[in-house]
């Protein structure tokens, strides 16, 4: 069986791509390691940006805010396209059933950080959940074929064209190849490298980006990782900006304030991190707002804090820390969402379409996954006729089958769970909100050592049946592969810009670094370079 379009990943980006490819008649399949509605997109609370009322806001202003936040690293054309499409996709989402919150007869909007107006459309605190579930309902309506609980291993590439991909069937540990004329990667970000120091779902392990890197794709701007200033201290679960917006104060253990709560995410994250480094404890205090106000306006924040921190914010300040939240970097794509491999597309958090540059604005990523997801689906479907696929067992498939068999016999002398834990800690300390050359180089040597030790690790679970030990091991392999690209990029960028802050180079340096960091592999060796940004003036 040969599909026109194979979509890998069933979050918001993947479902939008599948729906639009199907709409123009392509034979589509969506493959995911979990189930569509279990994707990280379900976690987005805040909203999705779009200018709906030109009397109080303007598309120009949305474009301006996005460019400003990107600190020179966005592609102006993409930003313009996405912001102009925004009102149309909100209309589309509304027409297929998303129950956005209303203000009277109109879709309600609220203000998120960095926006000049109330621009984020929302569905209570469940914006991502309700968008994702409505998209899923529509894929059922449109009879889209799904293959769930299949884990992407590698892309199949021949003569510069993608031919499909190989998957681990999680239920049986068999390796399967799926052939398609166009392939879209929509596998999400890589914040889970920071494990317990990340707000993300456990699925955000960057598998698709690592597979793309191995297949010969270029990655870009991998060092740009956004930290959220207020995640719960123990669990890193996100406490949304709404709490600060409503008047929440940041205090230390002595009750002293130390920062302007309305600074940008990266500035605030740094300030909090520095305080914690100096052995302070930091809290988000909303007690002064009173129970009635909190119950009405911040019920979700209260609930999360009680369950995961054991603290009722009505009575006590909430212990917090900054945590890795969103990865701006990813698979480098052009404005058609095409990678440097023919007929291979990437979209959503796994891709770098240069919508966000050095820093993402809240509410812009849900927007990106819908607008660009649809674009990727359309382009992939249209270009599918340009690829010829031979129906045979591809070498990649044989190699991966052997690899999986091999893993069952790895010696397991080194416990990868311990390594994973350790790596996440040194990443948070040295590759987090504040970086400097020595620390980065130290972590790089640990990562390279860990890569060498990979074959001495392995799995204890020898059953082929739904082996999550095996899945987590492969995810770990992907994370250490990507860790190297993040570190090499961060070490090369001797400046500070947006989410990338170098204590040893605290200034932005446009003369040398108004450029995207590219990383790719040649014969298994990682290469890096900068390419100047197209004129953004």
Partner 1 sequence: MKITIKRYHPHFKPQYKDFTYEIPQNLTLLEALEYIKESIDNTLTFSKGCRSGVCGSCAVRVNEKEVLACEYKIEDGDKIEALNFIEPIRDLVVDIKKPLKTLKIAKTYLSKPNEISMNEKDEKLIRKQSDCILCAACYSSCPVFETNSNFLGPFALSRSYRYIADKREENKKEKIEAVISNGIFDCTLCGNCTVVCPQGIDPKRDILMIQSEALKYGYQNPNLSNFGSFGLDF
Ligand X SMILES: Cc1cc2nc3c(=O)[nH]c(=O)nc-3n(C[C@H](O)[C@H](O)[C@H](O)COP(=O)(O)OP(=O)(O)OC[C@H]3O[C@@H](n4cnc5c(N)ncnc54)[C@H](O)[C@@H]3O)c2cc1C
Q: How far is the CB of 461 from partner 1 (least distance, A)?
A: 4
Measured distance CA(86)–CA(90) in Å, rounded: 6
For partner 1, the binding residue among 39, 230, 364, 384 (CB under 8 A) is 39
Residue 208 sits in the site that holds ligand X (CB under 6 A):
yes
Q: Which stretch binds ligand X (CB under 6 A): 93-101, 197-205, 257-265, 429-437?
A: 197-205
Stretch of 118-126, 214-222, 279-287, 354-362 lying at the interface with partner 1 (CB under 8 A):
118-126
Q: How far apart are CA 343 and CA 388, in angstroms?
A: 11
Q: Is 318 in the site for partner 1 (CB under 8 A)?
A: no
Considering only 133-141, 195-203, 303-311, 520-528, which stretch makes contact with ligand X by CB under 6 A? 195-203
Among 82, 86, 107, 128, the residue binding ligand X under the rule CB under 6 A is 128
Q: Which is nearer to ligand X, 129 or 515 (CB)?
A: 129
Distances in whole angstroms, Cα of residue 276 to Cα of each of 130, 144, 282, 287, 312 = 36, 49, 7, 22, 22
Q: What would you measure as the largest C-alpha separation in the chain, in angstroms?
A: 69
Looking up tokens 């689906």 gives 377
Over the window 343 to 382, marking each residue x when it contacts partner 1 by CB under 8 A and - when it does not, the resulting string is ----------------------------------------
Tokens in use for 43? 């976690």
Q: Which of 262, 307, 398, 455 binds partner 1 (CB under 8 A)?
A: 307
**Shorter beta-carbon distance to ligand X: residue 47 or 439:** 47
Write down the least CB distance from residue 420 to partner 1, Å: 9
Q: Which of 61, 235, 340, 492 binds partner 1 (CB under 8 A)?
A: 235
DSSP states of 285-328: E-GGG-HHHHHHH-HHHHHHHHHHHS--TTTSPEEEEEEEEEE-
Closest contact distance (angstroms) between CB of 516 and ligand X is 19
Within a 13 Å sphere around the CA of 496, how many CA atoms are in the beta-carbon half? Answer: 15
User: Shortest Cβ distance from residue 110 to ligand X (Å)?
Assistant: 10
Report residue 360 as tokens: 């993402």
Which residues from 286-305 bind partner 1, rule CB under 8 A?
304
Catalytic site includes residue 493: no
Distance CA 243, CA 299 (A): 10
Based on CB atoms, which residue is closest to partner 1, 101 or 287?
Answer: 101
Q: What is the DSSP letter of 384?
A: G
Interface pick for ligand X out of 190, 326, 428, 505 (rule CB under 6 A): 326
CA distances from 203 to 136, 156, 244 (A): 18, 23, 28
CA–CA separation, 376 and 373 (whole Å) = 5
461 part of the interface to partner 1, by CB under 8 A: yes
Q: Which of 68, 466, 492, 528 binds partner 1 (CB under 8 A)?
A: 466
In whole angstroms, give the CA distance from residue 313 to residue 293. Answer: 12
**Vertex 477 angle, CA 216 and 420, to 5°:** 140
Chosen from partner 1, ligand X, none, partner binding at 349 (C-beta under 5 to 8 Å by type): ligand X
Q: Report the run of H or E that residue 244 belongs to, with start and end.
A: helix 242-245
Residue 69 binds ligand X, judged by CB under 6 A = no
Decide if residue 140 touches partner 1 (CB under 8 A): yes
DSSP state of 147: E
Joined together, the tokens standing for residue 433 give 């909100």
Q: Which is nearer to ligand X, 169 or 436 (CB)?
A: 169
Is residue 48 part of the contact set for ligand X (CB under 6 A)? yes
340 binds, among partner 1, ligand X, none (CB under 5 to 8 A by kind): none
Query: Can you say how many angstroms the Cα of residue 439 is from the centroid of all Cα atoms in its chain?
Result: 24
CA neighbours closer than 13 Å in the CB half-sphere of residue 83: 24
Contacted entry of partner 1, ligand X, none for residue 130, CB cut-off 5 to 8 Å set by kind: partner 1
Asked whether 427 and 447 are in contact (CB, 8 A), the reply is no
The reply on whether position 43 binds ligand X by CB under 6 A is yes
Of 73, 365, 326, 338, the closest CA to residue 218 belongs to: 338
Residue 468's CB is within 10 A of a number of other CB atoms, namely 11
Q: Is 171 in the site for partner 1 (CB under 8 A)?
A: yes
d(CA 82, CA 62): 10
> Which residue is catalytic, options 244, 265, 420, 493?
265
Work out whether 46 is an interface residue with ligand X (CB under 6 A): yes
- Angle between helix axes 468-492 and 437-453 (nearest 10 degrees) is 150
Opening angle at CA 111, ends 109 and 113, nearest 5: 150
Site for ligand X in 338-397 (CB under 6 A): 348-349, 362-366, 369
Helix (H, G, I), strand (E, B) or coil at 216: coil
Q: Which of residues 213-252 bind ligand X (CB under 6 A)?
A: 238
Least distance from partner 1 to the Cβ atom of residue 123, Å: 8
CB 64 → partner 1: shortest distance, Å?
30
Site for partner 1 in 396-455 (CB under 8 A): 417, 421
Task: Return the bridge partners of 519, or none.
Answer: 219, 528
Residue 308 is a binding residue for partner 1 (CB under 8 A): yes
- Taking residues 88 to 107 in sequence order and writing x for each that binds partner 1 by CB under 8 A, - otherwise, the string is ------xxxx-xxxxxxx--
Q: Tally the C-alpha atoms within 13 A of residue 53's C-alpha that lie toward its C-beta.
A: 13
Residues that bind partner 1 (CB under 8 A): 34-35, 37-40, 42-43, 94-97, 99-105, 123-124, 126, 129-130, 133, 137-138, 140-141, 148, 171, 201-203, 235, 237-238, 304, 307-308, 310, 417, 421, 459-461, 463, 465-469
Residues with catalytic function: 265
Residues that bind ligand X (CB under 6 A): 8-14, 31-34, 39-41, 43-48, 127-128, 151-152, 186-188, 199-200, 203-204, 207-208, 238, 326, 348-349, 362-366, 369
């Amino acid at each position: 069986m040969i599909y026109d379009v194979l979509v890998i990943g069933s979050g918001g980006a993947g479902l939008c791509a599948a729906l639009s490819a199907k709409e123009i008649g392509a034979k589509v399949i969506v493959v995911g390691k979990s189930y569509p509605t279990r994707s990280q997109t379900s976690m987005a609370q805040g909203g999705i940006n779009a200018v709906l009322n030109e009397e109080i806001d303007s598309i120009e202003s949305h474009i301006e805010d996005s460019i400003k936040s990107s600190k020179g690293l966005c592609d102006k054309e993409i930003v313009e396209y996405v912001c102009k499409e925004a009102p149309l996709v909100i209309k589309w989402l509304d027409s297929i059933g998303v129950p956005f919150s209303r203000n009277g007869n109109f879709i309600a909007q609220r203000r998120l950080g960095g926006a000049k107006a109330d621009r984020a459309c929302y569905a209570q605190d469940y914006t991502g959940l309700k968008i994702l579930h409505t998209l899923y309902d529509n894929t059922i309506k449109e009879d889209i074929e799904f293959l769930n609980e299949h884990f992407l291993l590698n892309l199949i590439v021949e003569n510069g064209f993608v031919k499909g991909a190989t998957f681990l069937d999680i239920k049986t540990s068999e390796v399967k190849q799926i052939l398609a004329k166009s392939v879209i990667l929509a596998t999400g970000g890589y914040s889970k490298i920071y494990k317990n120091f990340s707000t993300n779902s456990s699925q955000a392990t960057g598998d698709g980006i690592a597979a793309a890197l191995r297949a010969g794709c270029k990655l870009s701007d991998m060092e740009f990782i956004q930290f959220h200033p207020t995640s719960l201290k123990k669990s890193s679960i996100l406490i949304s900006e709404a709490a600060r917006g409503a008047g929440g104060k940041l205090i230390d253990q002595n009750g002293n304030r130390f920062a302007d709560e309305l600074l940008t995410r990266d500035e605030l994250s740094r300030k909090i991190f520095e305080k914690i480094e100096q052995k302070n404890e930091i809290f988000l205090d909303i007690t002064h707002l009173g129970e009635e106000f909190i119950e009405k306006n911040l019920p979700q924040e209260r609930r999360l804090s009680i369950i995961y921190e054991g603290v009722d914010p009505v009575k006590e300040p909430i212990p917090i820390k900054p945590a890795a939240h969103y990865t701006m970097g990813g698979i480098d794509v052009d404005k058609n969402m095409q990678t440097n491999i023919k007929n291979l597309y990437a979209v959503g958090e796994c891709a770098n379409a240069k919508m966000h540059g050095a820093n993402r604005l809240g509410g812009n990523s849900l927007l990106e996954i819908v607008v660009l997801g649809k674009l990727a689906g359309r382009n992939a479907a249209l270009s599918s006729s340009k690829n010829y696929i031979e129906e045979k067992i591809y070498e990649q498939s044989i190699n991966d089958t052997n690899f999986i068999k091999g893993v069952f016999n790895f010696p397991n002398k080194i416990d990868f769970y311990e390594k994973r834990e350790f790596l996440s800690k040194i990443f948070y300390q040295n590759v987090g909100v504040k970086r400097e050359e020595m620390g980065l180089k130290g972590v790089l040597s640990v990562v390279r050592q860990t890569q060498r030790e990979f074959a001495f690790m392995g799995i204890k679970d020898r059953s082929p049946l739904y082996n999550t030990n095996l899945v987590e091991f492969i995810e770990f392999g992907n994370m250490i592969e990507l860790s190297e690209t993040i570190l090499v990029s961060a070490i090369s960028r001797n400046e500070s810009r947006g989410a990338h802050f170098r204590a040893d180079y605290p200034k932005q340096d446009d003369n040398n670094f108004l450029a995207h960091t590219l990383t790719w592999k040649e014969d298994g060796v990682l290469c890096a370079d900068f390419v100047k940004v197209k004129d953004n003036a």
